[in-house]
Amino acid sequence: MKYLAPIVLIVLIFACKTPQQWTGQGPIEVVPTTDRPIENQPYQDFDLGDGFFISNKMEGGRLNDAVRINDSLVEVKILPENQPINSSPWYAFKVWSEQEKQMWIRLTYPTTGFHRYYPKINKRGLYYKKLDSAAFHPHPKILEDGSERIEFAEAKVWVGPDTLWIAAQDFAGTQYVERWKAKILEHNFVEKIQIGLSKEGRPLEVLKIGKADDQKMLMAISLQHPPEIPGFLALKSFVETLCEDSPEAREFRSKYNLYVMPMMNPDGVARGHWRHNVGGVDTNRDWVNFNQPEPKALAEFMEKKVRDTDGKFVFAADFHATWEDIFYTINEDLEGNHPGLIPKLIRRSTRKIPGYEPNIRPSDRMERGVTSSSYFFFVHGAEAMTFEVGDNTPRNLIRLKGETTARELMRILNKN
Ligand SMILES: [Zn+2]
């Protein structure tokens, strides 16, 4: 029986992979964005007996309870910061044991209830890798409407006195982004600008890349939603390509300045939130009312830039992660500062990836909405898109997508 569940899941996954493309999320609801209370997760080491410990005391940590079921199984509860919330059940914690042993960890999600992110493990404190598939047991459940969800999942780990980190994605906490920013800042054409503070006082920082005169600017952001690390990985590769020492990148940086805010929601990332900031709000629904400091600071920064320089934003991308790769674009009947740029860019950049069929979802809307992408387009005229990669998109494909997007963008914009 133990082996039946994964087989059923694999069959179902393949059954779902018909040529029909994923249609993406439904219409975006307008929700209030004034502060809502969040539940603080108590940080603690859980002593589970026999010298076995589990702990959420880490940046990005998320684990709300842990109990020992038997000799070789512990059950953990993963809860969101508040509700209602999109089901992006982030988890991150660490385990250790006085004696070397094998332990099953059952991941449960009592409130909104299903498992989503395949476990990644990390033995050295730096790089996470996927848990071996033989060590992962998903428990699927068929819902009333016939769809399937993984209700809970078990991960088998070898533990010993050295700490083992377990997380929902390739890293946890804010340090990875900070290290990357420091590396990018080594280039002499990059500078860091603090544009404000988050609710908990973390600096909100933008990198300015380029030596141009700010007449033509670009914007790229990621991590509005803390678990969406694959989106950050796409932004990372996009930015690294624009920082290359190549003739086209040098030309690009002499004509355009790219502004990058890789971590839009540092409090949420640090606290291991599923989606919201410390105001308990999805910041990507706050780009009209600006009740939250993070979108507000970036909008004020951009608007001041435009006022001070008389320049304009020609392009903007907000990088996210969701179930599968998809590009959400602005209604194609609308024209901004560089009409046709986004469809052309997606077409050309994805053509460079053998066998890759882009899933593009232009908006039906003719008027401004509540998301960042809508703000970039309707307020600034920036040709904008939400660049979504899949939770499980292979990391080398994510890298390639970020890279080809940057290369084609340079090719198109350098001509102007
Ligand atoms: Zn997102």
Assigned token pair, 21: 């493309």
The two structure tokens encoding residue 313: 């934003």
Sign of CA dihedral 341, 385, 33, 172: negative
C-beta of residue 266 within 8 angstroms of C-beta of residue 199: no
Domain ranges of the chain: 37-167, 175-414
pLDDT at 10: 42
Q: Give the Cα separation of 74 and 52 in Å (integer).
A: 10
Tell me phi and psi for residue 166, to 5 degrees.
-130, 130
* pLDDT score for 18: 40
- 294 within 8 A of 200, measured Cβ to Cβ: no
Q: Which residues, other chains included, contact 355 with Cβ-Cβ below 8 Å and sequence gap of 6+?
A: none
Cα→Cα distances 226→276, 285, 379, 403, Å? 8, 15, 26, 23
How many angstroms does the Cα of residue 333 sit away from the middle of ligand 1?
25
Query: In the chain, helix, strand, coil percent, each to 5?
Result: 25, 30, 45
Residue 112: its pLDDT value, please?
A: 77
Q: Which CATH superfamily hosts domain 175-414? A: Zn peptidases (3.40.630.10)
* Residue carrying structure tokens 């990018």: 184
Q: Which CATH code for domain 37-167? A: 2.60.40
Give the distance (Å) from ligand 1 centre to CA of residue 26.
Answer: 14
CA–centroid distance, residue 129 to ligand 1 (Å):
22
Between the CA of 261 and the centroid of ligand 1 the distance, in Å, is 15
189 close to 130: Cβ distance less than 8 angstroms: no
Question: Between β-strands 190-197 and 203-209, what pairing exists: parallel, antiparallel or unpaired?
Answer: antiparallel
How remote is the CA of residue 386 from the centroid of ligand 1, in Å? 9
Which value, in Å, is the radius of gyration of the alpha carbons in the chain? 22
Q: Please report the pLDDT score of residue 364 as a whole number.
A: 94
Q: What is the DSSP string of 357-380?
A: ---EEE---SS--SSHHHHHHHHH
DSSP label at residue 42 = P
What confidence tens digit (pLDDT) does each residue in 187-203 have?
999 999 999 999 999 99
pLDDT of res. 20: 56
Cite the DSSP H helix spans in 283-391. Answer: 293-309, 341-351, 372-380
| Per-residue model confidence as pLDDT tens digits over 70-87 | 999 999 999 999 999 999
- pLDDT (tens digit, 9 = 90+) per residue, 123-134? 976 789 999 999
CA dihedral 374, 376, 380, 383 (to 10 degrees): -90
Distance 308 CA to ligand 1 centre (A): 31
pLDDT of residue 124: 77
pLDDT for 385? 98
How many A from CA of 310 to the centre of ligand 1?
A: 31
Q: pLDDT tens digits for 330-362?
A: 999 999 999 999 999 999 999 999 999 999 999
CA of 388 to the centre of ligand 1 (A): 8
- Residue 276 CA to ligand 1 centre (angstroms): 10
Distance 374 CA to ligand 1 centre (A): 14
As a whole number of angstroms, the distance between CA 91 and CA 77 comes to 9
Please report, for residues 151, 173, 236, 325, the alpha-carbon distance to residue 169 in angstroms, rounded to integers and kept in the order given: 19, 11, 15, 16
Is 175-414 in the same CATH topology as 37-167?
no
Compute the distance between CA of residue 389 and CA of residue 126 in angstroms, rounded to an integer: 23
Query: Residues of the chain whose pLDDT is less than 70?
Result: 1-22, 125
Is the peptide bond preceding residue 42 cis, with omega within 30 degrees of 0? no
Do 150 and 168 form a contact (C-beta atoms < 8 A)? no
Ligand 1 centroid – CA 30 distance (Å): 15
Contacts of 327 (CB under 8 A, 6+ apart): 342, 346, 358, 359, 360, 361, 385, 386, 387, 388
- What pLDDT does residue 15 have? 37
Cα 229-17-150 angle, rounded to 5 deg: 60
